[in-house]
Structure 1
């Protein structure tokens, strides 16, 4: 299960978070842990260079894209390899929506469309859509023309 997708700015402020199957009382722990993990390890990392961590029997894959940090947390069948695929789809969708690696301002300008993309990529803790063109079609908010 994909437990969390979290996107933060360079100062550690959370811009978007999606938790699945994580009790509300544990979410603060995960927020602070992931932001601290990023602050400690993401200095000087190139765009889309993946870093991997393990904490409390879950896997964490994280990276930097422009001015934002992206964290994906999973357990069981979502190991490092599956999470790297998930984070690749997320970074590709972010670049498509923003047109380039996002600055914080551009990210916030495109916030609604980014949230729609995340909802299409991860559904109830499962990696749902990985095809870039399908995601673009699903977030158009127009009725489908093909069945």
Structure 2
């Protein structure tokens, strides 16, 4: 299960978070842990260079894209490889929506579309869509034409 997708700015402020199956009392711990992990390890990392961590029997894959840090947390079948695929889909969707690696301002300007993309990529803790063209069609908010 994908436990969390979290996107933060360079100062560690959380811009978007999606938790699945994580009790409310544990979410604060995960927020602070992931932000600290990023602050300790993401300095000087190139765009889309993946870093991997393990904490409390879960896997964490994280990266930098422009001015934002992206963290994906999973357990069981969502090991490092599955999380790497998930974060690749998320980063490519972010680049498509923003047109380039996002600055914090651009990210916030496109916030609604980014949230729609995340909802189409990860649904109830499962990786739902990985096809970039399908995600683009789904976030247009028009009824589907193909069956």
User: Which range, TM-score by smaller chain?
Assistant: over 0.9
Aligned residue for 1:60, secondary structure, equals strand
Aligned residue for 2:118, secondary structure, equals helix
Aligned residue for 2:29, secondary structure, equals helix
CA distance in structure 2 between the partners assigned to 1:19 and 1:88 by the alignment = 19
Matched, 1:117 2:112: no
TM-score by structure 1 length? Answer: 1.00
CA distance in structure 2 between the partners assigned to 1:144 and 1:89 by the alignment = 22
- Give the deviation of 1:15 after TM superposition: 0.0
CA distance in structure 1 between the partners assigned to 2:56 and 2:90 by the alignment = 24
- Give the deviation of 1:110 after TM superposition: 0.1
- Give the deviation of 1:145 after TM superposition: 1.3
Equivalent positions of 1:97-116 (< 5 A) are 97-116=97-116
CA distance in structure 2 between the partners assigned to 1:144 and 1:36 by the alignment = 42
- Give the deviation of 1:98 after TM superposition: 0.2
Query: Cα RMSD between the aligned structures?
Result: 0.3
- CA displacement, residues 95-127 of structure 1 (integer Å, 9 cap, x when unaligned): 000000000000000000000000000000000
- Give the deviation of 1:71 after TM superposition: 0.0
- Give the deviation of 1:143 after TM superposition: 1.1
Gaps of 5+ in 1: none
Gaps of 5+ in 2: none
CA distance in structure 1 between the partners assigned to 2:56 and 2:64 by the alignment = 23
- Give the deviation of 1:56 after TM superposition: 0.2
Moved over 6 A (4+): none
- Give the deviation of 1:28 after TM superposition: 0.1
- Give the deviation of 1:146 after TM superposition: 1.2
- Give the deviation of 1:144 after TM superposition: 1.1
TM-score by structure 2 length? Answer: 1.00
